[in-house]
A = this chain, B = another copy of it.
Amino acid sequence: MKEYNVAVVGATGVVGSEMLKILAERNFPINNLQVIASEKSAGKKILFNNNEYFVEPVKPGVFSEVDIALFSIGSLPSKKIVPQAVKEGAVVIDNSNAFRMDEGVPLVVPEINGDQLKNHQGIIANPNCSTIQLVLALKPIYDKFGIKRIVISTYQAVSGTGKAAINELEEQIKDFNEKKIIKSKVYPHQIAFNALPHIDVFAADGYTNEELKLIREPRKILNDDDLAITSTAVRIPVFYGHSESVNVETVKAFSVEELKEEINQMEGVKVIDKIVDNQYPLAIMAEELDEVMVGRIRRDNSQDNTFNMWIVANNLRKGAALNAIQIAEKLIYSI
C-alpha cells in the first residue's frame, strides 16, 4: 500500500490535536509526518504513535516533501500559508473559512459529495462544524422528499472557538465556585451560565459569519443555490458537542416513520429517538461518538410537509478533524 507524506498545520490547536489522534486511530498510511505550528510552538515535542515529533514553524520549502497538508489555523493565516503549500506541491485540506465558497475549491462532506474531490486544484475545503452535522441529517431528506426551507437555531460548544475558550469556561466556573469575579477575554461576554447569540464576527444584514456559513455552505454541498435557509447561531456553556434545533419544510409529503428510516440509513448518521426512555441526542454523548446523532423527529403541525429535529455531533471530530481525514482517505483511495 502506498504511503503518504502528511503535514498537520496547526498541530498544537484543539482541531490539530484531534487530527493527529484520528490519523493514528485510523492507521492513515503515513510515510513521513510533519507537525507544523506557529513560531511560538516551534521546537515543542508532540507524541504520535509513540514517536516524538518536533513542531516546525512555517518557512519556505517546509511543504516541499508533503503530499497532503491538513490545515487548521483559522482563515487569515490560511489565506497566507495555504497558497505556499499548494505551490510547494501539497494537496491542502483546509478547515478554515478562507476558501470554502471559492470556485474551483470543492467543499466536501465525503458521504454526500465526495465525487467533487476530483475537481480540486490543490485546495479542498472542510465545511464549518455546524454545517457538516446539518447537511448529513438533511441529505437523505433532500434526496427523498426535496427541501423547500430550513430554519436553524444552534447550541454550540466552546471548543469550536479553540483551547483558549475551553480554558475561559473552565476558569469562569472555577471563579464562580470560589465566589470570585468572573472575567471574559475570549468572548465579549461571560459564557458560563449564559447563552451568547454571537458566533464569529457580525457581517451583512445583522447576521454573524457563523450564521452566513450555515446559509451558504449547505447550498454548495447539496449543489442547490436556491435552497432557502435561515439561521441563528448561539454559543452555550458546553465544552464539546454542537446541538441544532432544525425546522425543515419538504417539497413532498412524508410520514414521520419514513423520515426516521431515511435519516437512519444515511452513512455517518444515527437516529436516537426513544422519548419513552428519555433517549435523544445529547452534547455529552458526542464526546465518545463519531456519528451525527438525530432525534426529536416530529411533525410540525403549523404548516404542511414540515418537521422538527434535533441534531448533535462532536464538533471537533465529525465537525472538523474527522471529516478532514475522511476527505484525505477518499482522496488517496480513489486515486
Q: Which residues of B contact A295 (CB under 8 A)?
A: 197
Pick from A153, A195, A196, A239 the residue with the most CB of B within 10 Å: A195
Query: Contact: A282 with B245, CB < 8 Å?
Result: no
A313 CA / B275 CA spacing, docked (Å): 29
A301 touches B205 (CB 8 A): yes
Q: Is the CB of A278 within 8 A of B237?
A: no
Q: Give the interface segment out of A18-26, A169-177, A316-324.
A: A169-177
**A230 interfacial contact with B, CB 8 Å:** yes
The reply to whether A153 and B194 contact each other, CB–CB distance below 8 Å, is no
Q: Please, could you name 30 A-B residue pairs with CB atoms under 8 Å apart, sorted by A?
A: A149-B303, A151-B302, A153-B153, A153-B232, A155-B155, A155-B236, A173-B173, A174-B177, A188-B278, A193-B237, A193-B239, A195-B236, A195-B238, A195-B283, A196-B282, A197-B295, A198-B275, A202-B276, A205-B299, A205-B301, A206-B297, A228-B303, A230-B300, A230-B302, A232-B245, A232-B310, A236-B236, A236-B237, A237-B238, A245-B245
Does A243 sit at the interface, judged by CB under 8 A?
yes
- Which of A234-291 touch B at CB < 8 Å? 234, 236-239, 243, 245, 247, 256, 275-276, 278, 280-284
Contact A243 B306 (CB under 8 A): no
Cβ of A183 within 8 Å of any chain B Cβ, yes or no, is no
A189 at interface by CB-CB < 8 Å: yes
Binding site for B on A (CB under 8 A): 149-151, 153, 155, 173-174, 176-177, 188-190, 193-198, 202, 205-207, 215, 228-230, 232, 234, 236-239, 243, 245, 247, 256, 275-276, 278, 280-284, 295-303, 306, 308, 310
Question: Complex: how many Å from CA A256 to CA B280?
Answer: 37
Q: A197 near B296 (CB under 8 angstroms)?
A: yes
Given A153-B245, A230-B308, A296-B206, A280:B198 Cβ within 8 A: yes
Q: How often does this chain occur in the complex, in copies? A: 2
CA distance A71 to B150 in the complex (A): 41
Across the interface, do A232 and B197 meet the contact criterion of CB distance under 8 Å?
no
Contacts of A310 in B (CB 8 A): 197, 232
Among all A-B residue pairs, the 6 with the closest Cβ atoms: A206-B298, A153-B153, A228-B302, A153-B245, A188-B278, A230-B300
A256 to B206 Cα, complex, angstroms: 10
Chain B, Cβ-Cβ closest to A302: B228
- A189 close to B278 (CB less than 8 A): yes
Chain B residues contacting A238 (CB-CB under 8 Å) are 193-195, 236-237
A298 neighbours in B (Cβ, 8 Å)? 205-207
